[in-house]
Amino acid sequence: MGKKSVPSPTRQVELCLKSLEAYGQSKHEAKIEHNGEYLDGIYSHKTMKTYMNLCCTFAKWAKAEHGVKKLVDLKPEITEKYFEKLKAEGKSPWTLQTVRSALRKLETGVKVRFQRTVEIVPKNLTLPIRERKARKNRGAYSREDADRIIGAVRKDNYQMGLLLETQDTMGLRIHEVVKIRVRDIDFRQGMLAVKGKGGRVRQLPVPPNILKKFRAVMERQNLPANRRIFSERIRKVERHVKTVCQRLGIAEKGTHGFRHHYAISEYLRLRMSGLTDRQARRAVSRLLGHNRIDVTYSYIPREFTDFANLIVLVFRLTLLRNA
């Protein structure tokens, strides 16, 4: 019999990363069990595509420069030279961090697919610090500005106005709103199945007024179960919001500004109901479709906590006086 051929390095990368597929599952609830150890998977198609490209590029380089034909033969010293190459090419700190994350995930894939523990990324690897920059046109609209924008858009295009009203009252991402199908809405229970990042689905209550408008659109257009409620394209909606903001003299914060406003409003409501800062943030993170409470700080800054504490204190004092 002939000698068994070894898959190419890129094919090995594909086998390893594909063994970590966990699309549509929660990162905290779905772990890959391997010999009694729970390992992190890959939870979105976008992440898989990014990691696949980065790891395949690395594998090709390792073969060409160091003759590595098997992933299990990779050494930390080889990876360190690869990062020196990337730094010399002027790759940004963000790119370098992503490459490191991809190669660490590849280590996990090798463990799962080939039953071998291999150290690909050096434990003492140091990378440049990533400097966070404030995103342009980000932040929350005020209640007044949000109402003015939605009202103006509704006059131009009722369907688009309803889309923004849905995002504003439910805190959805714009792409989550445009993907709503008739079958996702439970009119009896008043719930909506929202498919978020990575294909993960969360159930959210739909305000009665929005539910009523959904039903009207569905009946007026005679939409079947697999059809979307909204036909607008995301870029068209974003351009319209920008135009309306310029017309009204409102600082434009994109469609995401409605989501930011929702996060802050819900946080304050939950704090007023008696929840602590951490409890309220955890609840808001779930409503927004995030797995980590830390993400809420981009919507609700740390300094906002002191403001909320003051509001809660005044609210409680008012209750005591009226008791």
Name residues whose C-beta falls within 8 Å of residue 249's C-beta, 6 or more positions apart in sequence: none
Architecture of the 9-114 domain? Orthogonal Bundle (1.10)
- Mean pLDDT score, 220-234: 92
Provide the whole-model pTM.
Answer: 0.66
pLDDT at 183 (0 to 100)? 95
Per-residue pLDDT reduced to its tens digit, 34-70 = 555 666 788 888 899 999 999 999 999 999 999 999 9
Lowest mean pLDDT across 4-18, 216-230, 307-321: 307-321
| pLDDT for position 29 | 58
**Domain spanning 143-314, CATH architecture:** Orthogonal Bundle (1.10)
Residue 27 has pLDDT above 70, yes or no: no
pLDDT value of residue 310: 79
**Residue whose entry in the numeric block shows the structure tokens 């007024």:** 209
The predicted-structure confidence for 312-323, as pLDDT tens digits, reads as follows: 777 677 767 776
Q: Indicate the pLDDT class of residue 133, thresholds 50, 70 and 90.
A: low
pLDDT at 1 over 50: no
Question: Between 262 and 201, where is the model more confident?
Answer: 262
Q: What is the pLDDT of residue 2?
A: 47
Average pLDDT over residues 105-134: 85
Region label for 137, one of left (φ > 0), alpha (ψ between -120 and 50) or beta (otherwise): left
The domain spans of the chain are: 9-114, 143-314
Structure tokens at 67: 């003759």
Residue 191 pLDDT > 70, yes or no? yes
Question: 201 and 24 in contact (C-beta within 8 Å)?
Answer: yes
Considering 30-34, 133-137, 315-319, the range whose residues carry the highest mean pLDDT is 315-319
- Residue 17 pLDDT greater than 80, yes or no: yes
User: 69-108 burial, b if ≥16 CB within 10 A, otherwise e?
Assistant: eebeebeeebbeebbeebeeeeeeeeebebbbebbebbbb
Q: Determine the average pLDDT of the residues in 234-249.
A: 95
Of residues 158 and 301, more confidently modeled:
158
Which letter does DSSP use for residue 291 in this model?
Answer: S
Q: Are 263 and 296 in contact (CB under 8 A)?
A: yes
pLDDT at 242: 95
With 80 as the cut, is the pLDDT of residue 30 above it? no
- 27-31, 61-65, 196-200, 306-310: segment of lowest average pLDDT: 27-31
Task: Indicate whether 132 pLDDT > 80.
Answer: no
- Average of pLDDT values for 197-226? 90
Check whether 185 has a pLDDT greater than 90.
yes
Mean pLDDT, all residues of the chain: 88
* Range among 28-37, 41-50, 181-190 with highest mean pLDDT value: 181-190
Q: Which residues contact 30 (CB under 8 A, 6 or more apart)?
A: 22, 41, 43
